[in-house]
Structures are given as C-alpha cells and as structure tokens.
Amino acid sequence: MNSDKIGIVGWGSSSALGAATNEIWEQYLSNKHRLTKKRFLTDEDWCGALADEEAIKKIRAEKQAYRNLDPSVLFAIATSRQALTKAKWGANVSFGINIGSSRGATTLFESYHQQFLNSDKQETMPACSPATTLGNIASWVATDLGATGPAISHSITCSTALHAVINAFAWLKSGLATHFLAGGSEAPLTPFTLAQMKALKIYSSSADEYPCQAMDLDKQKSGMILGEGAATFALESNPSNAIAYISGIGYGTEIIQNGASLSAEATCMQKAMLMALNGNSPDSVDAVVLHSPGTVLGDLAERRAIDLVFGERTPLLTCNKWKLGHTFGASGALSLEFALLMMQHNLFIPVPYLNQKARVKKLKKIMVNAVGFGGNAASVLIEKAF
C-alpha cells in the first residue's frame, strides 16, 4: 500500500529558545535569548544553551533509571513527549521512532573516558558501554512512551535529523507503518567537543552582537557557534489534522576528498535539493532554510548550490544558527521547526545582520537543508496543509 500524503501533525522542541511554540516565535521576533557565554572552558566562549533546563532536570528526577542518562537522551524524551501530546495519538496507536544524534552521549562519554584515564588500573564503570551507545536515544524514548513499533537511532553527522525524517517518510510511504516520530537530539556543549571545533579553526571568537555570522558571504573568517537542543516530529499517513505535508525528500553524498568533504559548489546539496523538488517547479518554493553553519567555505558552497538549483529566481533565504548555534545532528530538525513556524504565521524571518527584512508573505512551500561531515546532504520540502 502506498500512502498518498505524509503529514506533520505535531512536534516538540527544546533549544536555546525554550520549548513552547508561541514562546519561541515571540523570542524570534523580539531577538531575546541571543547566544550566551557560559558552560564552556572560559567566559570567552559563546554557545546556544538550553533555555528550559529545569524541564530536563524534572525528567531526570522522575525515575532512578533516568538519573544516569546522557542529556541528549533526556532532550529526546522531552521533545517526543511534546510531539506525542500534540499529535493526540491514543494508546492504541502503534508508532515507530527514528531519532538520531551526530555524536550521541557526548557528556557521558567524556566523563567516563576521563574516569578511565584517571584510574590507576585503567578501569571504567559497568554502565559505561550501554550508557554511551548511540542506540540509547530511540530505545529510551520507546521505553518512556511505551512504543511498540521500530526504534531506530543513527548518526549521519549534521544531516542526522533530516535523514530521520526521510527514513520515517519512507516507512510511511511503503505502508509498513502509519505513524512515526522522527527527529534529532544533540548535547555537545562539552570541553572536548569545543576543543575539536577550535582545532578546525572554525569557532567564533567574535565580540560582536551576533558572534555567529551564518549566511554572511563577506566574512573573512569562520564564526561557527555550538548549540544544544532537540526536536521531534509526529508524522502520519493521510492525516486529517496535518500542520504541513512533506511533498518532497532528497539526499546526496559527495566523494570524500577531505574531512568536511564539501565541494566548492556543494554537489551533494544540489542533488538533495533537486530530488526534494519532486516534480515541483523551483519557482514554487517560497523560502529555503539553509544549513549555513557559519564557516566561510561551507556557507559559500551552499549558496552556490542554491544559485545553481534555483537560478535567477532565488527564494527567500534564511537560517537560525545566528540564534541557536549549530546543534549538529539536531540542527535539521530545529530548522524544520523554524520553517513550520514561518509557514504557520505567514511571516518570513530574516537574518538580522544581513540586508534582509521581515516579510509578510503566503509561505506555501519551504525547503529545509542540512549537510554534515562526510558530505551527507539532506533536503525536505514541506507544503502548507491549509
């Protein structure tokens, strides 16, 4: 059985903006909750840290088993509960889960590894292996929600969350499932992860109001900022209450030439966007939420890919990393949320430091991009349901 339409019927999120959709929108419009300086090695390091840490603490305190879970798992549990509540799936609904992460249990892994290095006998704790495996995320979400369908975790670097949506779409289209939760979760605000980004010479040291200069093609040096967060979407076959439909999915992979493996014209992103158009005219796309991590080469390559796919009639372009930071595997999910919010409010939100203006516009179709190390790109095209 092939399902005709796959719709998004609810979602949940946790990020530097908070968890409530209305709150998030208000904060986007008011420019509150800009990137902060905290939780890193020094007071000079910027990050996008959770605004709703208390909610995560409450989940950790609910059960003994939750007390030793990595923050990435707790983020996924929190956002999946929100998505399930908004979707109004009853107890008799069987649903699958695909929630991924670029780096998985980062906090726990670094902690356990430090304990190992400090141990005279180079021993570690018994819980180390199960607690730091990537499969922890979907498995714990399934346990928390009592899900009976497939529970899948994966890592496809920074395109992880959109690939989760693409995988869920495939399950639903095939008829093997009728309901799916899909998204990404990341908690990378740790000393070793920060050190890795600094070693790549891509981390921002700017003292400007907006230290992340994502999408600024004139910047002379990279200005990526790390962020933490998660977003989970409830997808359903032929729903009667869809917020938006997924009208196209796309993916593409570069031939690896270097660590980042992104060509000058982002060939993998061109492939992903062209596939996601799925018969839709490029002119019908009203806006694109870019991946745009804030690096000099990455931002420029994606823009070149946009120009090649859309030609002279470029859609409105925006991103959210200037406000959230780069949440690695969760970034595509949070970009998808941004697209849904703009679509719901018929309001295009610009990047504040570029020559863009907020525009009231009927946003019927929006494309969302993501790409990660290894040259794995993903694109999802959503269409307004009403």
User: Per-residue pLDDT tens for 339-350?
Assistant: 999 999 999 999
**Does position 41 have pLDDT exceeding 70, yes or no?**
no
For residues 138 and 332, give the distance between their C-alpha atoms in angstroms, rounded to a whole number: 17
Torsion from C-alpha of 108, 111, 115, 118, nearest 10 degrees: 160
Q: Please state the CATH superfamily assignment of the domain spanning residues 6-384 in this structure.
A: Thiolase/Chalcone synthase (3.40.47.10)
Render pLDDT for 278-303 as a digit per residue (tens, 0 to 9).
999 999 999 999 999 999 999 999 99
**Does position 102 have pLDDT exceeding 50, yes or no?**
yes
Render pLDDT for 131-173 as a digit per residue (tens, 0 to 9).
888 888 999 999 999 999 999 999 999 999 999 999 999 999 9
Contacts with 159 (C-beta within 8 Å, 6 or more apart), sequence order = 251, 291, 332, 370, 371, 372, 376, 377, 378
Q: Reduced to 3 states, what is the DSSP secondary structure of residue 142?
A: helix
Alpha carbon 235 to chain centroid, angstroms: 16
Residue from 377, 374, 296 nearest 331 by CA: 377
CB atoms within 10 A of CB 174: 11
Residue from 209, 210, 87, 227 nearest 147 by CA: 87
Half-sphere exposure of 27 (CA within 13 A, CB side): 19
pLDDT score at 1: 41
For residues 328 and 79, give the distance between their C-alpha atoms in angstroms, rounded to a whole number: 17
Q: Cα-flanking dihedrals φ and ψ of residue 198, to 5°?
A: -65, -35
CB-based contact 25:347 (threshold 8 Å): no
pLDDT score at 217: 95
Residue from 83, 291, 48, 319 nearest 187 by CA: 48
CB atoms within 10 A of CB 258: 10
- Copy the structure tokens of residue 55: 């909610």
For residues 13 and 178, give the distance between their C-alpha atoms in angstroms, rounded to a whole number: 22
Q: Which residue type, as a one-letter code, is found at position 136? A: N
Q: Where are the alpha helices (DSSP H) in 146-184?
A: 160-174
Alpha carbon 100 to chain centroid, angstroms: 10
For residues 86 and 106, give the distance between their C-alpha atoms in angstroms, rounded to a whole number: 29
pTM of the model: 0.95
Identify the band that residue 260 occupies on the pLDDT scale cut at 50, 70 and 90: low
Q: What is the mean pLDDT of residues 91-104?
A: 96
CB atoms within 10 A of CB 140: 22
pLDDT score at 169: 98
Q: What is the mean pLDDT of residues 305-333?
A: 96
Q: Is the dihedral of CA 335, 336, 337, 342 positive or negative?
A: positive
For residues 44 and 60, give the distance between their C-alpha atoms in angstroms, rounded to a whole number: 30
CB-based contact 361:348 (threshold 8 Å): yes
- Copy the structure tokens of residue 340: 């849904």
Q: Cα-flanking dihedrals φ and ψ of residue 158, to 5°?
A: -75, -5
More confident: 40 or 197: 197
pLDDT score at 38: 60
Residue from 320, 309, 355, 341 nearest 227 by CA: 320
